[in-house]
Structure 1
Amino acid sequence: MGQETSKTAIQLAEKFIQSKYEKVRLLHQTDKAEVWLAVDSTGSFVVIKNIKLVNLPYSMLKAMGKALWPEVIYCAENEAYTIVVEEFINGKSFEELLENKRYLTETRARELLLQLCDGLIMLHRKGIIHRDIKPSNIILQAVGGHDFVRLIDYDAARIVKEEQKEDTRLLGTKGYAPPEQYGYGQTDQRSDIYSLGITFKEMLGENYNGWLRSILQKCTEVDARSRYQTVTELKSDLLHHRRNKLLKAAGIVAAAMVAVLVIWSNGQHSHQEKILPPAVEEIMEEVKEKVPLPPVEEKTPEVEKNKVPSQENGPVPAENKPNTTENDKSPQETVTNNETGNNAVYAKYYFNGERQGEWTDRFDKPRNDWGTFFTIPPNIWKNWDDSYPNDWEVRVTVENKSNAPWENPYLSVWTTDGVGGESKDYYGNTLAPGESCVYVVPLNEFRLPALHKERRRQEMHFQFYASGDQLLFGERTEFVFELINK
């Protein structure tokens, strides 16, 4: 494309934006970018960016939809400029919290770190490195009474190129950018991990000395080879640190047992045939049974919390399980994750941050006959009181992708355990087309299942009700919790 033609394209883009939006005020200006708050004909705010840089990932973000990053509504580019119209995110930045010395609690920091991990995993899988993670670019946005973290400003971002040895643009913010971002090599996801670690060290306050400290220290090692190599590794440590601690303790106990048995066999029975202690492998098998290892397979949830140590999907009909191959699917079952016409509402379930029933996304018609089975070993539940732990929850994200409002919705939850049960309703607001919300069900609001015929088993049923004729994906499901005694 010639320079003159290219210039015309940008002029056409600017003309289109002027016809759609009215600028309200200048938010930010540098020698490289001009950022405006604007409003459309419906009164909705957007952000308009005129950036004197190219090869930015905004067109890729537009194709990826709305997630951790702002939704990209419009994007145009020539050899010298990029013009972007994106979602305006209203909320408080980490920078504002720091200015007011409103540090994060350990639990809150972990929750927000897990949200960021999920978004960064998606970005990194596409080869997008943010390169400017810092407090001013992290926004807490309130949705349905709960805060969700959003990561803004992709003007310094780059797309990984395998053949490239170092970055062509040395951008970032001093104090948050790792050494490799200043010309010592090509940045990769370890660079974002470094900036994330620096940011959360600040957000926890200088006097923080809890378990997250060692994780953040590993994030911020000067040598990239000593950091977490992927965000997935970081997420795994955040999810399973309690079990890792139990495993470490169990390993010490196992080693001590071996040492005691060796001393005993050598000391007490030196005059007899040597008595060998049980193999270390046998002891560790017992340890694994009592303290299950974290799963190897990685899942991508919105909000992560403590995961149940052992779980398996069910009661899912065999022919509908996620391992169905492409050849097994009929044309009616195959979907492309598009809306069913313009009349669909989607409800997606997360238990302690981990997506459940993801396999139902394959279908272009609602599948509401599924459930998930969770096995909870005694070393986990024996010290519980009469309810589930305070930080265990089910979150359901609901998005209205229809052309009409989804009116008067509420989520009904009821339990049965063979002896009795409880029920609670969670009410939401009417969702306009394109809107979304989150229903949060704290499990400590429900009593633990009663002991019945030497087992503790509880079925927890979820069902949505609303006015309107939309197709609801995820209208109902059930979770089954079984607290085993051995």
Structure 2
Amino acid sequence: MERWELALGSLYEPVDKLETSGGSANWLIYDKLGKRVCLLKQRGLAAKAVYEKLKDMKNPHLPEIYRLVELDGKLWVIEEYIEGSTLAEKLEQERCLEEKLALYILKELCTCLGHLHDVEIIHRDIKPANIMLTKTGQVKLIDFGIARQTKEGGTSDTESLGTKGYAPPEQYGFGQTDARSDIYSLGVTLQRMLGKDYRGVLKVIIARCTALDPADRYGCAEEIMADLSRRQRGRALQRKTAAAALGLAILLPIFWWQQKAAEEMSPVQEVVVVEDSQKEDEAAQPVTADSPSLPEPEPMEKEPGNPMVKESPAEHPKEKDPPSFTYPFLQRSQCTFYLNGSPFEEGLGIPASIWQNWAGNEESRTFPDEWTLTLHIENESAADFVFPRLEITYDREVASQTLPTIPSGAARDIAIPLGGRNIRGRLCNMGVRLEDVGGTSMYWNFQFYLER
């Protein structure tokens, strides 16, 4: 029996011992209470502060940390087991990725790093082997074995860690690591995804990410997203301009030929020459009121607010129809839900071994504060989702809020807290409605029930 089995008791059952690397051991274990397979990792106690922050984070791009245990001077981490393959395994099969897929992975990692850096966590080992691609298309960053918190005012790291080829120069004792160190490793990873011969729009992004001097790199992941958005808009404009120029090059010769043909087919107009004597006779004739050459008086202008002057129909031409606009509706496939960081569908049975520890009595139980339902929205359309509206119905209580605009190509997580909500009669229903400004409305119904 392993040492950890004695410490953790009968709550967990060993499934398989995984290959070890760098002196650390990993196990697959079965959580009897949560009814799930988990990953058990051994880490040094120096990593405790980082893993405690990760445990508080509920992010779909990170494995959920279930439990931390100190044993024999080591930190044992019980975390989510992610099914799928690593980016390294995918690159072994395909050598390099299409730009569209690499761009998607880049955006997902930027979103993940943005959240990590906001809580002052630096991963320090971003590489294809530490990027998981799940069966449902999610991108997750794993292995925080050498991650650390940001140190203010430091001049260099105390340890030279990282993977050769992916770690920046400052990570080997030449300076202090910070968020820009992860940016460097992200750039190298992006280059690996696209191949050394890649010459597309992301080449400039890679060059700035991998600058040797941290001052020449992007300062944060948000700067990468902003620069990428500008370059994509510029490329789209160039394509439209090129298409317009090509269209003119095709149409101009056609217009010229049509004009030439029209001139050749038009009849010759007869030119009438008026003698000087005829002009004198016309000038000598008196001009009277009945004369057809007398100019008609200009129509009377309507004074503002004068009902006596009839309006001429010509003064108010028919208003043109407003230009049509097709809004890219939000699709159900762009919305996914996570319960405490795990994918969540419609119903969840909560084992008695779990809910019996919750506050309440036999008739009613209260969700713990850390229970959260997260709505993850991926805006895959070509336009922004402007102020989508979210409505939540729980136990006949209805609450709604207007969400911030989600730009094109961006993603957003909306936390729906469950903590403090009561489950009466062992069953409760929760409804979530999402509506965008284009008029699309989607509704989800979730059920939570207490198992006996």
Matches within 5 A, 1:228-239: 228-239=218-229
1:129 aligns with 2:122: yes
1:116 aligns with 2:116: no
Paired position in structure 2 for 1:73: 66
1:283-335 C-alpha deviation (Å, 9 max, x unpaired): xxxxxxxxxxxxxxxxxxxx99xxxxxxxxxxxxxxxxxxxxxxxxxxxxxxx
1:367 aligns with 2:360: no
Q: Which residue, out of 33, 36, 45, partners 1:44?
A: 36
How far residue 123 of structure 1 moved from its aligned partner, in angstroms, is 0.7
1:208 aligns with 2:208: no
How far residue 95 of structure 1 moved from its aligned partner, in angstroms, is 0.7
Distance 2:393 2:434 in 1: 24
Amino acid at match of 1:240: R
1:33 aligns with 2:19: no
Amino acid at match of 1:87: E
1:163-220 C-alpha deviation (Å, 9 max, x unpaired): 3221122211111101110001111111101111111111112332210111011111
Matches within 5 A, 1:89-100: 89-100=82-93
Indicate conservation of the 8 Å contact 2:390/2:401, yes or no.
Answer: no
Higher mean C-alpha deviation, range 87-96 or range 354-363: 354-363
Secondary structure class of the residue paired with 1:28:
coil
Amino acid at match of 1:351: N
1:460 aligns with 2:439: yes
How far residue 350 of structure 1 moved from its aligned partner, in angstroms, is 4.8
1:76-133 C-alpha deviation (Å, 9 max, x unpaired): 3479421110000111111101111253221221121111111111111111100000
Distance 1:246 1:15 in 2: 61
Change (3 A) 1:398 1:140: farther
Higher mean C-alpha deviation, range 233-242 or range 153-162: 233-242
Secondary structure class of the residue paired with 1:33:
coil
Change (3 A) 1:406 1:151: farther
Paired position in structure 2 for 1:294: none
Amino acid at match of 2:131: I
Q: What runs of 5+ residues in structure 2 fail to find an aligned partner?
A: 240-333, 336-365
Q: Which residue, out of 163, 166, 191, partners 2:156?
A: 166
Runs of 4+, deviation exceeding 6 Å: 246-249, 338-344, 353-356, 358-365, 371-375, 391-400, 402-413
Amino acid at match of 1:139: M
Distance 2:411 2:171 in 1: 39
Amino acid at match of 1:134: K
1:32-53 C-alpha deviation (Å, 9 max, x unpaired): 3111111122652111111245
Amino acid at match of 1:83: W
Distance 1:66 1:201 in 2: 26
Change (3 A) 1:35 1:243: same
1:140 aligns with 2:130: no
Amino acid at match of 1:215: I
Change (3 A) 1:361 1:33: farther
Indicate conservation of the 8 Å contact 1:20/1:40, yes or no.
Answer: yes
Change (3 A) 1:229 1:392: closer
Amino acid at match of 2:440: H
Indicate conservation of the 8 Å contact 1:348/1:355, yes or no.
Answer: no
Matches within 5 A, 1:278-357: 347=375, 349-352=377-380
Fraction of identical pairs, as percent: 32
Q: Which residue, out of 161, 176, 188, partners 1:186?
A: 176
Amino acid at match of 2:118: R
Secondary structure class of the residue paired with 2:153:
coil
Indicate conservation of the 8 Å contact 2:393/2:431, yes or no.
Answer: no
Paired position in structure 2 for 1:24: 15
Amino acid at match of 2:157: D
Distance 2:417 2:142 in 1: 24
1:61 aligns with 2:93: no
How far residue 15 of structure 1 moved from its aligned partner, in angstroms, is 3.9
Change (3 A) 1:229 1:344: closer
Paired position in structure 2 for 1:103: 96
Distance 2:218 2:231 in 1: 15
How far residue 242 of structure 1 moved from its aligned partner, in angstroms, is 2.4
Distance 2:391 2:175 in 1: 40
Change (3 A) 1:20 1:227: same
Indicate conservation of the 8 Å contact 1:139/1:150, yes or no.
Answer: yes
Change (3 A) 1:24 1:201: same
Distance 2:170 2:57 in 1: 28
Change (3 A) 1:191 1:398: closer
Number of residue equivalences: 313
How far residue 225 of structure 1 moved from its aligned partner, in angstroms, is 1.5
How far residue 462 of structure 1 moved from its aligned partner, in angstroms, is 1.2
Indicate conservation of the 8 Å contact 2:159/2:172, yes or no.
Answer: no
Change (3 A) 1:240 1:460: farther
Indicate conservation of the 8 Å contact 1:350/1:396, yes or no.
Answer: no
Secondary structure class of the residue paired with 1:85:
strand
Indicate conservation of the 8 Å contact 2:389/2:401, yes or no.
Answer: no
Indicate conservation of the 8 Å contact 1:54/1:79, yes or no.
Answer: no
Indicate conservation of the 8 Å contact 1:129/1:192, yes or no.
Answer: yes
Change (3 A) 1:239 1:164: same
How far residue 362 of structure 1 moved from its aligned partner, in angstroms, is 12
Amino acid at match of 2:27: W
Amino acid at match of 1:34: A
Amino acid at match of 1:95: A
Paired position in structure 2 for 1:275: none
Q: Which residue, out of 208, 232, 257, partners 1:218?
A: 208
Distance 1:78 1:358 in 2: 48
